[in-house]
């Protein structure tokens, strides 16, 4: 039988910074524009601005980390932007 710990032994992770939440919401709100500008690419967003876009996730992560260190205010939002064609399938058919 597994050992159940006392709930007081668990600590919650710290909440995300509001800036990170705002950047995530910005990516969602501008998803159509991002899909037209950066189809099938990885992007890093910091302060509601695309820092880098590339098909190479490693490059996006490296540049994003450099920008994070330079700005010193938290983490970038990393996401993959699908093209409209890929997201909707052939002939605009939604899955």
Give the pLDDT confidence score for residue 73 in this predicted structure: 73
Residue 35 lies in a domain: yes
As a whole number of angstroms, the distance between CA 49 and CA 35 comes to: 15
Give the pLDDT confidence score for residue 71 in this predicted structure: 83
Write the DSSP assignment of 52-88 as a string of letters.
EEES-HHHHHHHHHHHHHHH-S---EEEEE--HHHHH
- pTM reported for the whole predicted model: 0.74
Average pLDDT over residues 34-41: 94
Range of the domain at 52: 15-89
How many domains in the chain?
Answer: 1
Give the pLDDT confidence score for residue 16 in this predicted structure: 85
- Residue 44 C-alpha from the chain's centroid: 7
Residue 8 lies in a domain: no
Give the pLDDT confidence score for residue 23 in this predicted structure: 95
Residue 7 lies in a domain: no
As a whole number of angstroms, the distance between CA 67 and CA 74 comes to: 10
Sorting pLDDT into bands at 50, 70 and 90, what band is 86?
low
């Amino acid at each position: 039988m597994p050992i159940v710990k006392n709930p007081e032994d668990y600590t919650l992770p710290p909440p995300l910074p509001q800036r990170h939440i705002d950047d995530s919401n910005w990516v969602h709100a501008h998803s159509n524009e991002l899909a037209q500008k950066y189809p099938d690419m990885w992007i890093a967003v910091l302060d509601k601005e695309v820092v880098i876009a590339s098909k190479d996730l490693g490059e996006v992560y490296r540049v994003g980390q450099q920008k994070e260190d330079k700005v010193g205010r938290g983490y970038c939002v990393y996401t993959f932007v699908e093209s409209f064609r890929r997201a909707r399938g052939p002939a605009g058919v939604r899955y």
